[in-house]
Amino acid sequence: MKENPKHIHISEYNYPLPDERIAKFPLPVRDQSKLLVYRHGEVTEDIFTSLPEYLPKGSLMIFNNTKVIQARLHFRKETGALIEVFCLEPIQPNDYVLNFQQTEHAAWLCMIGNLKKWKDGTLKREMTVKGFPITLTATRGECKGTSHWVDFAWNNPEVTFADILEVFGELPIPPYLNRNTEESDKETYQTVYSKIKGSVAAPTAGLHFTPRVLEALQEKGIDLEELTLHVGAGTFKPVKSEEIEGHEMHTEYISVNRNTIKKLIDHDGCAIAVGTTSVRTLESLYHIGVTLADHPDATEQELHVRQWQPYEKYDQIPPVVSLQKILGYLDRNGLEALHTSTQIIIAPGYQYKIVKAMVTNFHQPQSTLLLLVSAFVKGNWRTIYDYALSHDFRFLSYGDSSLLIP
C-alpha cells in the first residue's frame, strides 16, 4: 500500500529564497547556465553544454514543444482605468487550434486585473492587424472560481484570434520576476523547439537547450521526441492550505502522438524528461493506460487524469503494457495522437513509472513542483537545494538547471 500524500504539510517544503537569487533575466547564451548534477545521492556541478556526457547512449529524451502565447490583453476604459484580461484557456471553441483560427468571435476563460473597475459593459480597443483597422471588444460573462468567461468579438473576417494576440497580446512572464515584459522576452521566454501555441508559461527547463546541445545529444545516440502539455497559470498558484489535500491542481491539456508512444514502448517505457511539464505528461500516460486496461471504450473525457487518481489504484501493470493500451486505443479510434487532460499531483508517496531522469530548474518554496522533485529524489531535495544556494546557482524560470538521476 502506498502512503497517501494528502496529509503532507507544505510547510515542510520551505527554504529561504532571497530575491537576489531569482534570475530576473536569462544569461546572454542559454546553454552557458550552470548544471547541477544529482546522481544516486551525490551532487556535482558542471555547465549545461556538458549535459550529453551524463546521459547513457541509446536513451530516449522527451521535450515539451508547447509555445507560450501572448496571453495578456490590455484595455483602457473611458474612465481611464486600465483593465488587464489574461487568457487562460479556450472555451468556445475549447480546442486551442480551432480557437486561434476563429474569425470575428472567440471565448476564453480569463483572469482579470483591476476587476473592481470593470463592473459591467463592454471593453473596446481600436487596433490595426495585418493592415486592417479593427475594433476588438471584450464582454464579461459568468465567474468560474477566480476566473471569468470573456467573449471577444472583432469586426473583420480576415483576422484570426491568433493574429490579434500576436500583435496586441503581451507575453506573460512569471509574476515573481517583478518586472514588466520586455521585447527580448519574446525570444528568450520560448524554447528553441517551441511549436504548438497554447501555454501561458514556458516549460522553463527547456530554455537552456540550443541547437548545438540538441545536436550533441543526437551525436551521442540519444533519441529525441516531443509531446505537448499546455502550461496553465495554475503552475504559479501557491499551495495555501496547510495540508496538500486542500490544494486543487489546475487542469492542463496534453497531446502525445502515436510515434512518441511507440518510441516509449521501444525504450521499455523509460524516458529522460525535460522539465516538470514533460514529467507530468509522461506519468499521466501511465495512468491513462491503466484506465484503458479497465475500460477499453473510455472516451477522451474519461481518460482525464484526476488529481489523486495515481494514489487510488494499486494494480501494478508494467509501463509498457500501459503504453500498449494507449496505442490500441489510438488504433481502434483511427487517431494519430492522444488528446486529453491531466490534473495529476506528484508528491512524496508517488511511485514514478516512466521517468528515469529529469532535467529541471530550481523551483519556488512550498510549490507543487518542489513536491514533484522531492518524490523523484526520495525526499532528498534539501541536499540539492542547499548545494544550489551555497554554490551561487540562479533560481526559477530564467535560472540555472539540474539533472536528477535518483
> Omega into 93 within 30° of 0, i.e. cis?
yes
* Identity of residue 303: L
Enumerate the domain spans of the chain.
3-65+185-402, 70-169
Instruction: Please give the backbone phi and psi of residue 298, each rounded to the nearest 5 degrees, phi first.
Output: -60, 145
Hey, CA dihedral for 43, 48, 53, 56, is it positive or negative? positive
Cell numbers describing residue 254? 496534453
Fold classification of 3-65+185-402 (topology level) = QueA-like (3.40.1780)
Cell of 220: 551521442
Non-local CB neighbours of 225 within 8 Å, separated by 6+ positions: 60, 61, 62, 63, 259, 260, 263, 264
Give dist(CA 196, CA 256) in Å, integer: 12
Q: Can you spell out the DSSP letters for 122-163?
A: EEEEEEEETTEEEEEEEEEEEEETTEEEEEEEES-TT-BHHH
Residues in the chain: 406
* Contacts of residue 334, Cβ cutoff 8 Å, sequence gap at least 6: none
DSSP state of 315: -
Q: Are 381 and 365 in contact (CB under 8 A)?
A: no
Taken in order 43, 45, 49, 50, the sign of the CA dihedral is negative
Here the cell at position 26 is 536569462
Q: Provide φ and ψ at 228, rounded to 5°.
A: -130, 125
Q: What is the pLDDT of residue 145?
A: 83
CA distance linking residue 376 with residue 385, whole number of Å: 14
Going by C-beta distance under 8 Å and a sequence separation of 6 or more, which residues neighbour residue 132? 156, 158, 159
Here the cell at position 401 is 538547471
Beta pairing, strands 66-68 & 196-199: parallel
Residue 60: how many CB atoms within 10 A of its CB? 21
Which strands sit side by side in the sheet containing 337-342, from one edge to the other? 42-47, 34-39, 401-405, 355-361, 271-274, 60-64, 223-230, 252-257, 337-342
Grid coordinates given for 47? 555547465
Q: What is the pLDDT along the chain (406 residues), one digit of tens a residue?
A: 356 799 999 999 999 999 999 999 999 999 999 999 999 999 999 999 999 999 999 999 999 999 999 999 999 998 899 999 999 999 999 899 999 999 999 999 999 999 999 988 899 999 999 999 999 999 999 998 889 999 999 999 999 999 999 999 999 998 889 899 999 999 999 999 999 999 999 999 999 999 999 999 999 999 999 999 999 877 767 788 999 999 999 889 999 999 999 999 999 999 999 999 999 999 999 999 999 999 999 998 899 999 999 998 766 899 999 999 999 999 999 999 999 999 999 999 999 999 999 999 999 999 999 999 999 999 999 999 999 999 999 999 999 999 999 9
CA dist., res. 220 & res. 59, Å (int):
10
